[in-house]
A and B are shown apart, each in its own frame.
Chain A
Amino acid sequence: MAPPPEHRRPIKRAAISDQQRRREVALRLQADRRSDAQNRARQLASSVLSLGHEPETEPEVEQEQEMSDASGQLSGRTDLDPVRAARLRGPEVRRWFARQLMLPEWMVDVPPLLDRDWYVFPRPSGKRCFVVSSNGTTISRLRNGSILHRFPSNLPNGARTKDVSGPASSYSILDCIFHEPDETYYVIDMVCWRGYSLYDCTAEFRFFWLNSKLSETGASDPPSQYHRYRFNVVQIYECNLAGLQASYSGQVPYVKDGLLFFNKHAHYQAGNTPLALVWKDNVCSQYVLDTDSKGQIPSQQQVVLELQNDGNLTTFDDPPVALGSLSRDLIAQSGLQVGNLVRVAIRDDSVRLVDGKLDLGELQLVGKTNHSRAFADTYSKVLFQHAARHAPLRIEDLVASIQSNSSMDNSQASDVEMEG
């Protein structure tokens, strides 16, 4: 019996070589981890911290997570040593996440050049969250950092399916609103795609990327076994008259909650930013005025502020803005501690705008907020709510602003032509 020709392996002897497999697996893991390490560095370089090996832990849903320490470190993304941040685990991850969303300010006056520099779209009503897909799972996290869902999806590396292109650990991060009635994630921004950071890209580029990439993955397909929730993009408009009109009164497949405005040139910036704005009125939102803890609209405006150790009550801004204070007696009496979020009522007649700054005057303590609340109100929200009750910014004002912009354009254009 002669041996088989050199290159011909007998079909029955096509023995598995587990040793060869172990060797290959080790080499592949090394290569993957190297490219992870290098990509991580690239993302850090793009000023996003790595979240790559976060999700392996617990699915526990800690709605109760206290975020009391968050407001003091609003600028945490730059304060924290990036390399250390990449190794965060468990609650630290949640805390870190909680600071990563870009939070629009409330529109209290109309920014200039709205039609030239801004996008507008109707905001879906629902839970704002970060969706991260990597290593075969997709995890959505609410603004307070707690997990909303853990599920398989068609996002890159979002499910344990065989046909993955590229390292399983490269991840994608989407900024979404989860809309309960149709169980759909509406994607309002793209932060990271297949390991590539879009943090330092303009909104214009991010939206372009979002629209072209998401459809490639099948993430917008109807739910199936390996794709638990559908991801839809929202229609984004240039903020000209037609775009504003379409956003304001056009039909959308979801419940609207106001309008979002994004400055085209702005990068994705964690925390509050005036380069993204939210605005609403009764036509485009069911919830213009804030409700209290029982879901009722209180007769007096209520705001949530954070108690500082000097007794001041501050907003969730960077730096925090003090809007009033509580006396030591009252603090002791009501068992409040530094860092607690407290709900206070404003007496309308005592509010004053001094040099464009809000002075709330006398504050009336309503109580502590419930535990799932992670942040105090922002200054712009307090202002917007106040305006909404007294002199709201109306859709007509927005329209007027756009019209005046375009007429200004005309006048500038004719300036150039007049040479005399």
Chain B
Amino acid sequence: MALEVTQFLLNAQSIDQATRTHAEESLKQIQEQNLPAFLLSLSAELANDNRPLESRKLAGLILKNALDAKELHRKNDLAQRWLSLDLATKTQIKTALLQTLSSPVSNARSTASQVIAKVAGIELPHKQWPELINSLLSNIHQVETHVKQGTLETLGYVCEEVDPQVVDQDQVNRILTAVVQGMNASTETSSEVRLAATRALYNALGFAQTNFTNDMERDYIMRVVCEATLSSDVKIRQAAFECLVAISSTYYEKLAPYMQDIFNITLKAVREDEEPVALQAIEFWSSICDEEIDILDDYRSEYTGDSEVPCFYFIKQALPALVPMLLETLLKQEEDQDQDEGAWNVAMAGGTCLGLVARTVGDDIVPLVMPFIEENISKPDWRRREAATYAFGSILEGPSPGKLAPIVNVALNFMLAALSRDPNNHVKDTTAWTLGRIFEFLHGAAVETSVITQENCQQILTVLLQSMKDVPNVAEKACGALYFLAQGYEDEGSVSPLTPFFQDIFQMLLFVTHREDATEKNLRTSAYEALNEVVRCSNDETAPIVMQLIPVIMLELHQTVEAQKLTSDERDKQNDLQGLLCGCLQVIIQKMGSIEGSKYAFMQYADQIMDLLLKVFASRNATVHEEAMLAIGALAYTAGPNFAKYMPQFYQYLEMGLQNFEEYQICAITVGVVGDLCRALEDKILPYCDGIMTQLLKNLSSNQLHRSVKPPIFSCFGDIALAIGENFEKYLVYAMPMLQSAAELSAHVVSQDDDMLEYTNQLRNGILEAYSGILQGFKSSPKTQALVPYAAHVLQFIDTMYGGREMDDAVMKSALGVLGDLADTLGSHVGPLISQSSSSKDLIEECMVYDDPLIRESAEWAKLAINRAVSG
């Protein structure tokens, strides 16, 4: 009972808006009236070679969107909806889709491929559509090139969509065989097929774990991939290099036998091939660096001291040939690359890779790069000067400060002169960036002897402030350099050499924010960021100068709040500025609140600041809300119980923030601010708790809320309970079941997926923090009894997590805390219960000998508390 949808689909793409709207509404109506029929019609449309391509493509797109969505909850809903359709409809749709793969129209095939993958993504994990892979593989043996091409493309998308675990090894073997054969130029003559196969392999690599452990199979795959990098078709070469990049991270430990060949291939590509290929060839080495940096980090890590995968030191071995290759790329700059935010070219990729190489090998890179710098840094050709400077800037992270400091000490004056006087903007841009890197890595509390001294600091500041009047991209880099210069003095206390220049610095940065071209090249943002950093490193002596900044920033914010009748472009800029000003206020509040001598003087401004921030909420921009909320959190912490007077006005915005599901960052930040308020107001927050708790509970029950907000909400329960103590009693009946069911879910999660595991641990930590806060809040209250019924569940939660063996350190520490709190608050009521819980005991014993001293001590503490409870 397919419906006639062609005309609607065409009209929905009409240039006439009325036609378009009408068609869209009709389609929507059909979908709502009879979903199965609608989907069936779409698949029939897509499969029908007699229909116009435009309607077929849109049919495929609507079909795809009916199966998948970005937001997780919607994605799940759509999957459920598909699964619940009747079998006949689904079979009919799937048949139409597979049939489309044989269409001579390549766009139709490609669209069908993607839809098939979406269906597979839903059905295969449920053990449905078992015949899919086989029917695709049977297509491979067909003669027609376009069918092969479409089928390989589909296999690629399917591999991208489904988890390797849902496909059995036998099918994996056959998929890989088909794909690799499709790539093989000696047997497959069609370059279209070879391209489709190469792209399919990229997605199928994740399925090849077993095959990569088999020497013969791995050799074969590697040989075919390497050969494909030499194909005459540039698209195949690019796709083949993309495969190599993917292999370098997925199968790093299997690469040793192939590295010599790969080096030769990449060298040729970087020197001679077209940019998209050369970029991938460089990316291969960047990716190897990523792997080795991670492994070496693990080696150095205090607690593990080892890595699952050993380091093969590929970069160190390739160094003498790799570095010259990368240095060559630096000379291939484009004239306008500093003007284009999103630019990415061979020179930029080469410099980025050089930076990664420096981080991988450390000191060894220095002697290989220095001759290049010395030779080129003073050449008349700007490209050479820029490349030399870029090379220098790139290797500043990685080598030891001891190795770099003597070189930097010599180079510093040269750099300052270049920044003031080089005729080329590109060179100045890179020079200012390099200065920033020098300050970032060779200056500050973590560096034994900073290259910045009391003496050269003044000269540096003079040059940087002067450069802030230069063209926007250079001025922006100068602000960035100042940011890192200031950051080095953050822990300095009262002896900072910046102290005498505070006034000048603020003046210049404010001047920059008012430049007419301040919105270009991110300049204004950089100026405010530098301003924030300078504020962060103020001290008793400079606090009065920061204090003078407050009315200035408030005035600016006031002007943005008052501004009216703006164009949408002006509105955007206004929002950016408001966000920056709120951010700046937040930093000032934090800093002035932490300097005892300035806190009182600062609090004089509190009323006005609060007044302004409340007005800022009139803006509908998410970033602005977030920044204002953060500033208010800081103000609450600084004001302490005095913040209570702002609550009546502020509360509505707090509630608004908690209700903001769509912009979940705001919701998360607001939840955090509730925590700030709890600690500031303590029991004075009580009158607002009904509203806050209601909203938090609502949020938790919603499946629309971004999952990342849930852990902080649980933690927030703890904050509230700790603040209002036994008054939390009335919320127990709602909060405890939520905690219990979340605990139950999270305790049983077993996942291979690192992200999922990390999230689960965040969730567990939030739940445990809630339990701790509640237990502690009730401590010494006559209502302690109310918690006794929940004790068994809390213990069981910890038992289950302990059994699952996937707690991270933070969770372990929180769990130990909860055990102690249980014993401490409920004492003899739970003594026997805890004694019976063998895993609590095991957990504590195990943690007593843990490497991390904090965990060890948490365990000691829990043990003490429990001993007291058990002994009565």
Any B CB within 8 A of the CB of A38: yes
Do B483 and A216 touch (CB < 8 A)?
Answer: no
Do B340 and A41 touch (CB < 8 A)?
Answer: no
A22-B586, A42-B820 provided; 18 other pairs, C-beta below 8 A?
A1-B337, A4-B348, A8-B349, A15-B522, A16-B484, A16-B529, A19-B579, A22-B532, A23-B669, A38-B722, A41-B777, A42-B776, A45-B779, A160-B491, A165-B853, A194-B854, A200-B868, A209-B860
Do A1 and B345 touch (CB < 8 A)?
Answer: yes
Complex A-B: 10 CB contacts under 8 Å: A4-B352, A5-B283, A11-B393, A26-B633, A27-B672, A38-B722, A44-B779, A45-B825, A160-B491, A160-B493
Do B276 and A18 touch (CB < 8 A)?
Answer: no
User: Which residue of B351, B446, B634, B858 contacts A162 across the interface (Cβ within 8 Å)?
Assistant: B446
Report B-chain residues with C-beta under 8 Å of the C-beta of A46. Answer: 824, 865
Known: A26-B630, A165-B854. A196 touches B861 (CB 8 A): yes
Tell which of A29-37, A96-104, A338-346 binds the partner. Answer: A29-37
Do A10 and B352 touch (CB < 8 A)?
Answer: yes
Complex Cα gap A265–B587 (Å): 50
Chain A residue nearest in CB terms to B665: A23
Within 8 A of B (CB), among A162-201: 162, 165-166, 193-194, 196, 200-201
Any A CB within 8 A of the CB of B286: yes
Do A34 and B630 touch (CB < 8 A)?
Answer: no
Complex Cα gap A38–B349 (Å): 48
Bin chain B's interface residue count.
35 or more
Complex Cα gap A161–B448 (Å): 12
Report A-chain residues with C-beta under 8 Å of the C-beta of B861. Answer: 42, 196
Any A CB within 8 A of the CB of B857: yes
Do B719 and A37 touch (CB < 8 A)?
Answer: yes
CB distance from B643 to the nearest CB of A (A): 14
Known: A26-B630, A193-B857. A1 touches B864 (CB 8 A): no
Do B715 and A42 touch (CB < 8 A)?
Answer: no
| Residues of B that sit less than 8 Å from A by CB | 275-276, 279, 283, 286, 334, 337, 340-345, 348-349, 351-352, 354-355, 390, 393-394, 430, 433, 445-446, 480, 483-484, 491, 493, 522, 525-526, 528-529, 532-533, 579, 583, 586-587, 590, 594, 596, 623, 626-627, 630, 633-634, 637, 669, 672, 675-676, 679, 715, 718-719, 722, 769, 772-773, 776-777, 779, 817, 820-821, 824-825, 852-854, 857-858, 860-861, 864-865, 868
CB distance from A87 to the nearest CB of B (A): 9
Do B824 and A42 touch (CB < 8 A)?
Answer: yes
Any B CB within 8 A of the CB of A295: no
Report B-chain residues with C-beta under 8 Å of the C-beta of A11. Answer: 348, 351-352, 354-355, 393-394
Complex Cα gap A14–B861 (Å): 43
Complex Cα gap A37–B774 (Å): 12
Do A196 and B722 touch (CB < 8 A)?
Answer: no
Report A-chain residues with C-beta under 8 Å of the C-beta of B586. Answer: 22, 26
CB distance from A63 to the nearest CB of B (A): 22
Complex Cα gap A68–B503 (Å): 48
Chain B residue nearest in CB terms to A26: B630
Complex Cα gap A15–B718 (Å): 36
Any B CB within 8 A of the CB of A282: no
Any B CB within 8 A of the CB of A12: yes
Name the 10 nearest CB pairs between A and B, nearest first. A18-B529, A41-B776, A4-B344, A11-B352, A11-B355, A1-B343, A45-B824, A3-B342, A166-B854, A196-B861
Chain B residue nearest in CB terms to A45: B824
Any B CB within 8 A of the CB of A57: yes
Any B CB within 8 A of the CB of A2: yes
Report A-chain residues with C-beta under 8 Å of the C-beta of B669. Answer: 23, 26
Report A-chain residues with C-beta under 8 Å of the C-beta of B340. Answer: 1
Any B CB within 8 A of the CB of A56: yes
Known: A1-B334, A22-B583, A26-B672. A201 touches B532 (CB 8 A): no
Complex Cα gap A211–B852 (Å): 18
Do A2 and B445 touch (CB < 8 A)?
Answer: no
Chain A residue nearest in CB terms to B479: A16
Chain B residue nearest in CB terms to A1: B343
User: Which residue of A8, A12, A30, A56 contacts B676 across the interface (Cβ within 8 Å)?
Assistant: A30
Most chain B CB within a 10 A radius of its CB, from A4, A22, A29, A165: A22
Report B-chain residues with C-beta under 8 Å of the C-beta of A216. Answer: 853
Complex Cα gap A189–B679 (Å): 32
Do B345 and A37 touch (CB < 8 A)?
Answer: no
Report B-chain residues with C-beta under 8 Å of the C-beta of A25. Answer: 590
Report A-chain residues with C-beta under 8 Å of the C-beta of B352. Answer: 4, 8-12
User: Which residue of B342, B394, B480, B672 contacts A30 across the interface (Cβ within 8 Å)?
Assistant: B672
Do B679 and A38 touch (CB < 8 A)?
Answer: no
Chain A residue nearest in CB terms to B338: A12
Complex Cα gap A37–B772 (Å): 11
Complex Cα gap A11–B349 (Å): 8
Complex Cα gap A319–B772 (Å): 38
Complex Cα gap A38–B774 (Å): 10
Do B480 and A3 touch (CB < 8 A)?
Answer: no
Do A200 and B864 touch (CB < 8 A)?
Answer: yes
Do A38 and B583 touch (CB < 8 A)?
Answer: no
Known: A4-B344, A18-B583. A38 touches B718 (CB 8 A): yes
CB distance from A169 to the nearest CB of B (A): 12
Report B-chain residues with C-beta under 8 Å of the C-beta of A10. Answer: 344, 348-349, 351-352
Known: A15-B480, A42-B776, A162-B445. A196 touches B857 (CB 8 A): yes
Do A38 and B480 touch (CB < 8 A)?
Answer: no
CB distance from A198 to the nearest CB of B (A): 9
Report B-chain residues with C-beta under 8 Å of the C-beta of A16. Answer: 480, 483-484, 529
User: Which residue of A1, A23, A30, A58 contacts B675 across the interface (Cβ within 8 Å)?
Assistant: A30
CB distance from B307 to the nearest CB of A (A): 21
Chain A residue nearest in CB terms to B434: A12
CB distance from B309 to the nearest CB of A (A): 19
CB distance from A362 to the nearest CB of B (A): 49
Complex Cα gap A30–B676 (Å): 7
Report B-chain residues with C-beta under 8 Å of the C-beta of A160. Answer: 445, 491, 493
CB distance from B774 to the nearest CB of A (A): 11
Report B-chain residues with C-beta under 8 Å of the C-beta of A56. Answer: 594, 596
Complex Cα gap A3–B340 (Å): 10
User: Which residue of B337, B343, B817 contacts A38 across the interface (Cβ within 8 Å)?
Assistant: B817
Report B-chain residues with C-beta under 8 Å of the C-beta of A161. Answer: 445
Report B-chain residues with C-beta under 8 Å of the C-beta of A2. Answer: 275-276, 279, 344
Complex Cα gap A18–B530 (Å): 9
Do B824 and A201 touch (CB < 8 A)?
Answer: no
Do A34 and B715 touch (CB < 8 A)?
Answer: yes
Known: A16-B529, A194-B857. A34 touches B348 (CB 8 A): no
Complex Cα gap A41–B773 (Å): 9
Do A34 and B623 touch (CB < 8 A)?
Answer: no
